[in-house]
Amino acid sequence: MEYKDYYQIMGVGREASADDIKRAYRRLARKYHPDVSKEKDAEARFKEVGEAYEVLRDPEKRAAYDALGTRKPGEEFRPPPDWQFDYGAEAEAAAGAHSDFFEQLFGGLGRGRRGSFRSRGFDAAGQVEVTLEEAFRGTERRLSLQRVAVDERGHAEPKTQQLTVRIPPGVIDGQRIRVPSQGEPGMGGGPPGDLFLEVRLLPHRWFRAEGRDIWLDLPVTPWEAALGETVRVPTLGGRVDLKVPKGSQTDRQLRLRGRGLPGNPPGDQLVVLKIIVPPAQTPADEALYREMAAKLAANPRQAMESSS
Amino acid sequence: MTEPIRAVLLDDSVEFSLHELCAACHVSEELVVEIVAEGIVEPHGGNRAQWRFSGLAVTRIQRVIRLQQEFDVNLPGAALALQLLEEVERLRRARR
């Protein structure tokens, strides 16, 4: 078991007052609260800070912790043989979210208290990364969950559980999905919690999702845009034919209704035309452009010239 | 290999009764009534027995309760924080 320096975690000195500690906790909670934070390891940090606060806010726990003396964080640690802590009733309410270090000192998981009450297991949370194609069709994900199993004698044992989850079609970025009864196991015969997963859509080479709508920049030639031709367009459901309206300019948006992510109603695919000018690579190409310059009287800057 | 477990989308394609919502969020009916009165989630249906919540309500209720407990604010304060957070998330998404 590794020693945890709760003062270092809270960013306060050993002599910090109760007010200092409360202030530090509030500030860190705002920074790392998983609902508020954009930091990568926010959830782990928030738990760590919560645990540190739980000890340092309570004068009895703090005194007991201080009595252990100072060690290096992460140093191998065993509680002194005469260690005793008369933990309050609130310690058991939050079990499962604590480090081994905390459990050894204050948790009392190993002291036969667990069997005496029945409670529902905690909800678990996680993220799944899904490609746009998978979001469109639905997919399966094999997840490895870190679980704390408690045996009859009350020993907490971390173990990894494998789980396959079927994700239905039509998930969008930030979507939460609920996997019933796959959270932490209940105690004393209580039911397990649920598993909540948040979906992250991975970036796609061509498509961009906005809610259920899918955006695509579609390169077209000047003549396809000018003459109005039918072009093949990729969608998540496969290629479709799209008639480019005659006389289209670049950035024109065309809507393929119902071709976005499935749902009720399904999203649309929005196609943004991007006119690509073919390079003049040969003398013949150049001659063609010169002929256009001579015969097509076009001045795209006319409005600028007349207004200045 | 075991049969995959079906996940439920928490969006507007699913509906929860008051009872089901309380079970999913581990909260009392009284608390949900307070949260509805605060305008944090809006059920369809006239009286409590007919209330139907969308799957989005599960997420909002869980978040508002966490904010309330972990920042030690009252329900209107947590509701305000939630509204602002959702606005920030919407803007972040639009910017990408």
The yes-or-no verdict on residue B76 having pLDDT over 60 is yes
Class of domain A121-202: mainly beta
Chain A residues in contact with B70 by the CB 8 A cut-off are 29, 33, 50
User: Nearest CA to A121 among A194, A196, A44?
Assistant: A194
User: Nearest CA to A112 among A84, A82, A90, A92?
Assistant: A92
B70 min Cα distance to partner chain A (Å)? 8
Chain B residues in contact with A202 by the CB 8 A cut-off are none
Query: At a CB cut-off of 8 Å and minimum separation 6, what does A192 contact?
Result: A120, A121, A181, A182, A183, A184, A185, A186
Of B7, B26, B62, the CB nearest to A168: B7
CB-CB under 8 Å, B70 with A163: no
**pLDDT band for position A219 (cuts 50, 70, 90):** very high
Structure token digits, residue B55: 């799957």
| pLDDT value, residue A152 | 67
Of B26, B71, B85, the CB nearest to A29: B71
- Across the beta sheet with A207-210, the strand order is A207-210, A213-220, A269-275, A253-256
Structure token digits, residue B70: 């972990």
- Residue A83, SS3? coil
Looking at domain A207-295, its CATH superfamily turns out to be Urease metallochaperone UreE, N-terminal domain (2.60.260.20)
Does residue B60 contact residue B68 with C-beta atoms inside 8 Å?
Answer: no
CB-CB under 8 Å, B2 with A164: yes
Q: Output the CA torsion A8→A10→A14→A18 (10° steps).
A: -170
Mean predicted confidence (pLDDT) in B12-32: 91
Total number of residues shown for chain A: 308
CA–CA separation, A15 and B46 (whole Å): 57
CA–CA separation, A224 and A254 (whole Å): 14
Q: Each residue of A32-61: pLDDT tens digit?
A: 888 888 777 888 888 899 999 999 999 988
In A175-293 the beta strands, taken as DSSP E runs, fall at 176-179, 195-201, 207-210, 213-220, 230-235, 238-243, 253-256, 269-275
- Whether A22 has its CB under 8 Å from any CB of chain B: the answer is no
The yes-or-no verdict on residue A156 having pLDDT over 80 is no
Q: Between residues B38 and A91, which one has the greater pLDDT? A: B38
A–B CB contacts, 8 A cutoff, strictly below: 74
Q: Each residue of A103-140: pLDDT tens digit?
A: 777 765 444 444 456 778 888 888 899 999 999 999 99
Does residue A187 contact residue A114 with C-beta atoms inside 8 Å?
Answer: yes
Mean predicted confidence (pLDDT) in A68-92: 67
The mean of the pLDDT values for chain A is 85
Q: Look at the domain B15-95 and name its fold.
A: Multidrug-efflux Transporter Regulator; Chain: A; Domain 2 (1.10.1660)
| pLDDT value, residue A91 | 42
Cβ count within 10 A of residue A55: 23
Question: Does A121-202 match A207-295 in CATH topology?
Answer: yes
| pLDDT value, residue A110 | 40
Structure token digits, residue A2: 């590794």
For residue A275, the cross-strand partners are A220
CB-CB under 8 Å, B10 with A177: yes
Of B4, B70, B71, the CB nearest to A140: B4
CA–CA separation, A235 and A269 (whole Å): 7
Global ipTM:
0.77
**pLDDT band for position A308 (cuts 50, 70, 90):** low
Domain A1-107 has CATH 1.10.287.110: yes
H or E stretch including B53?
A: strand B52-54
- Which DSSP state fits A103? I
Per residue, the 3-state secondary structure of A155-200, as one string, reads CEEEEEEEEEEEECCCCCCCCEEEECCCCCCCECCCCCCCEEEEEE
Of A166, A176, A264, the CB nearest to B13: A264
Does residue A183 contact residue A123 with C-beta atoms inside 8 Å?
Answer: yes
Cβ count within 10 A of residue A113: 17
Structure token digits, residue A213: 């709508």
Sign of the Cα torsion A9, A37, B58, A174 reads negative
| pLDDT value, residue A307 | 63
Where do the domains of chain A lie? 1-107, 121-202, 207-295
